[in-house]
Structure 1
């Protein structure tokens, strides 16, 4: 067995020589980054470099107890998040499989035969009973002179990093979806309350017009107009209830649960978000946003694959060695006199494959170029997202304030119209018009409050917050 040991030592010595690593070294592409984010009205938003909303935990951003409980449940049970985690575990094993090509493959085996023949055949085959056996140990190795297997392992590890960032992106998106769905539910709750209150007021108005019509003070047309107002509101009621139940089902899916109800009663859920939220520096976004990190990991994998394709141009050496012992009797199987040792080496150099190797190399470079562009596009998209979110924070606040003024004015106009109608100074058409305007303004105010609340979600998500 000493010759076999020497062969293995030779293989180990050659490992030290396999240090060449072809292919380009990764460098991060140059990407444009503004010194500050664009806010509303082309104003640039500046902030302390060490302070950003995106660095905060989601529980510090969304402080409603109901919403916090929903997010916790979703992070524990959501199936998309579990799928993303499973993909990470899959890629861990893929790295392990890919890396195994760098090492010698060693196998051990043995055979044994034993038979007792009839006396009539005993002399034909020599000894009786017959017993033979052997034991062997073999190794095969392809030295990684040009870094082919190391580059493959590097690409697999970069893909693992990409999957890890993809999992974080799913987590961030899940927090965003739960918060968005919750605020949408609270808006629908507001619309439901407004509609119910409007129905009660319009019932009273219908009763009044019916009494006036019976007394001869108002025409029947006023009754019909009052009925129109009432039925407009009552027809909206089941549609809002339908949307609430369907949104609850959507929330339950995010929670990893079967359809059912969820709690959404917090009266302060649609309160305006804080003003002058810290955003940090644009350069920080490259390290915080999961989609940017995922895109860069994919770019690194593509860069490593260029090295894999380049290594195919060079010769590949394969070495195999085997040693074993055997005998014709159980007692002498391990007798050194029955040892067998051999080694084999092969060297292959591609000469002509119809342009396949060069085509693969050029393909890998073009794929890397595509990943560079995709990485740069992802960064620009991230800057756009933050800017859009900042613009929305400012503009939605103004829109909500103006909508509140509109509701106040519509309420007073409706009040005055009813007084004038009861005093006989105007027709019911004025009541119908002002009441319809008020109802629409109140619904629009609820929508404006929801849109403003969602700007916090959008800004937090665009800054890369939620996965920490």
Structure 2
């Protein structure tokens, strides 16, 4: 009768297990107040998003090749891929608890005869044992769901790393090209200063220029020349940074020697802010981490309830190998066990409370990530508008500064202008050229930042 009751209890537990609640695959994202549009107007009226190969819009085959190389060889990306594979293994491990466990046992023994005994007994046994924990309260399902959510989080994390690496390659490449331009401008300004120095020396030889004038122009030439070594060092550092992003040795890496004139400035527009939630991998990662935390809460709650385990075994035992498979030697048994926590010093309840608070932390982190993403896009849009206006005004300034320098040089040759005016206009021209070069780079890099802020064309499938 007791065995009958136990069997009935086991069957009832199996039937009720089908009614146990399941863990949702995804956790609904917390509500966040989203604006209807961006405070900074986009460059065009249409609301579009960058595509997955956004770097090609800069019009550089060399850049596209470098991006492909970086996506294949970057060491941070390789490490992120390894983390994804680790998470896949963890998800498989967590899923094992939902399946039965099967163990096989086999053994043999021989009784050796002592003095005066001649018979030896040979015994053997074999057993197959199956055990299964009924996931009545959903603890194992919750643990598996948490592992799957962590896997998604690692996948999104890798997408975030890929986006950061790609934008870093593009931005650093543009910096190298900008330094090529600035080096060429520095060399051109040095040649201009040397030409003026030749003129001053000629006038000094006939008494038309003073020794002070000669010293001032020689100082101007030295100042122009001194700018070149610093720019060369900046160029080397930028190339080294680019090589590291590509997973290459900096000592053997160098890109083509050309400037930003070959780069096309793409026009980027931003879609509606609400769409950003599905286009930023860091936001999707926060959602996945929140889902994992929710599943952990369910697992911690389920741990407070009893666990039910069914076991069954079948096997053979014999005192002789020849009768190992004899039907009379076969045996089987089934059983069920229930383990319920009675006193653990409050550990399980504290673990549940800890899991709840960890989830609440991730809720706030998710909202913070969304707000930061919205602010980032708006800020970059504002930077682009500001840089466009700065460049327009700086180009006007450059044009007028070049006119002023050319006229001052002509007037100095004719003796109608003093050297100080020539030096001032020469210095102004050099400064404006340098500032315009920096603005051009900032504008291109702001475009890269906008691509990154918009998710870089990535979107979860």
3-state SS of paired residue (2:451): helix
Which whole-Å CA distance do the structure 2 matches of 1:59 and 1:391 have between them? Answer: 21
Match of 1:434 among 415, 425, 431: 425
**1:467–1:420 CA distance, 2 compared to 1 (3 A):** same
**1:8–1:333 CA distance, 2 compared to 1 (3 A):** farther
Which whole-Å CA distance do the structure 1 matches of 2:190 and 2:43 have between them? Answer: 45
Match of 1:53 in 2: 49
**Alpha carbons 2:58, 2:266 under 8 Å: kept:** no
**Alpha carbons 2:21, 2:137 under 8 Å: kept:** yes
State the 1:45 CA deviation: 8.1
Aligned pairs (5 A) from 1:389-400? 389-400=380-391
State the 1:214 CA deviation: 2.0
The answer to whether residue 298 in structure 2 is matched with residue 302 in structure 1 is no
State the 1:12 CA deviation: 8.6
Instruction: Extract unaligned runs of 5+ from structure 2.
Output: 1-5
Which whole-Å CA distance do the structure 1 matches of 2:214 and 2:8 have between them? Answer: 104
State the 1:286 CA deviation: 0.6
Give the TM-score of the pair, scaled to structure 2. 0.91
Aligned pairs (5 A) from 1:49-198? 52-114=48-110, 121=114, 123-124=116-117, 127-128=119-120, 130-198=121-189
3-state SS of paired residue (1:346): strand
The answer to whether residue 452 in structure 2 is matched with residue 452 in structure 1 is no
**1:415–1:8 CA distance, 2 compared to 1 (3 A):** farther
The answer to whether residue 39 in structure 2 is matched with residue 21 in structure 1 is no
The answer to whether residue 261 in structure 2 is matched with residue 268 in structure 1 is yes
**1:289–1:249 CA distance, 2 compared to 1 (3 A):** same
Measured against aligned partners, the alpha-carbon deviations of 1:59-110 in whole angstroms (never above 9, x if no partner) come to 5533221211111111111111111111111111110101111122110121
Which whole-Å CA distance do the structure 1 matches of 2:106 and 2:49 have between them? Answer: 66
The answer to whether residue 328 in structure 2 is matched with residue 327 in structure 1 is no
Match of 1:350 in 2: 341
Measured against aligned partners, the alpha-carbon deviations of 1:3-25 in whole angstroms (never above 9, x if no partner) come to xxxx9999798545323138899
3-state SS of paired residue (1:268): helix
3-state SS of paired residue (2:380): helix
**Alpha carbons 2:55, 2:170 under 8 Å: kept:** no
**1:431–1:11 CA distance, 2 compared to 1 (3 A):** farther
Which whole-Å CA distance do the structure 2 matches of 1:8 and 1:196 have between them? Answer: 93
State the 1:293 CA deviation: 0.5
Which whole-Å CA distance do the structure 2 matches of 1:288 and 1:74 have between them? Answer: 22
Aligned pairs (5 A) from 1:168-247? 168-247=159-238
**1:436–1:55 CA distance, 2 compared to 1 (3 A):** same
Which whole-Å CA distance do the structure 1 matches of 2:329 and 2:97 have between them? Answer: 33
State the 1:213 CA deviation: 1.6
State the 1:300 CA deviation: 0.7
The answer to whether residue 34 in structure 2 is matched with residue 33 in structure 1 is yes
**1:351–1:329 CA distance, 2 compared to 1 (3 A):** closer
State the 1:183 CA deviation: 1.0
Measured against aligned partners, the alpha-carbon deviations of 1:5-51 in whole angstroms (never above 9, x if no partner) come to xx999979854532313889943211111111121xxx588965xx5
Measured against aligned partners, the alpha-carbon deviations of 1:323-379 in whole angstroms (never above 9, x if no partner) come to 221112110122232234344433222233222222211211111111111111111
Measured against aligned partners, the alpha-carbon deviations of 1:208-232 in whole angstroms (never above 9, x if no partner) come to 2122222221111111111111111
Match of 1:251 in 2: 242
Q: Cα RMSD (Å) of the superposition?
A: 2.5
**1:250–1:26 CA distance, 2 compared to 1 (3 A):** closer
**Alpha carbons 1:199, 1:230 under 8 Å: kept:** yes
Match of 2:3 in 1: none
Which whole-Å CA distance do the structure 1 matches of 2:311 and 2:106 have between them? Answer: 18
**Alpha carbons 2:170, 2:448 under 8 Å: kept:** yes
**1:390–1:460 CA distance, 2 compared to 1 (3 A):** same
**1:434–1:67 CA distance, 2 compared to 1 (3 A):** same
User: Bigger CA drift: 207-216 or 439-448?
Assistant: 207-216
Which whole-Å CA distance do the structure 2 matches of 1:295 and 1:286 have between them? Answer: 11
The answer to whether residue 418 in structure 2 is matched with residue 417 in structure 1 is no
Give the TM-score of the pair, scaled to structure 1. 0.90
Which whole-Å CA distance do the structure 1 matches of 2:166 and 2:12 have between them? Answer: 54
State the 1:249 CA deviation: 1.1
Instruction: Extract unaligned runs of 5+ from structure 1.
Output: 1-6
Which whole-Å CA distance do the structure 1 matches of 2:416 and 2:45 have between them? Answer: 59
The answer to whether residue 307 in structure 2 is matched with residue 316 in structure 1 is yes
Which whole-Å CA distance do the structure 1 matches of 2:276 and 2:365 have between them? Answer: 16
**Alpha carbons 2:23, 2:145 under 8 Å: kept:** no
3-state SS of paired residue (1:38): coil
**Alpha carbons 1:406, 1:441 under 8 Å: kept:** yes
**1:8–1:298 CA distance, 2 compared to 1 (3 A):** farther
**1:69–1:13 CA distance, 2 compared to 1 (3 A):** farther
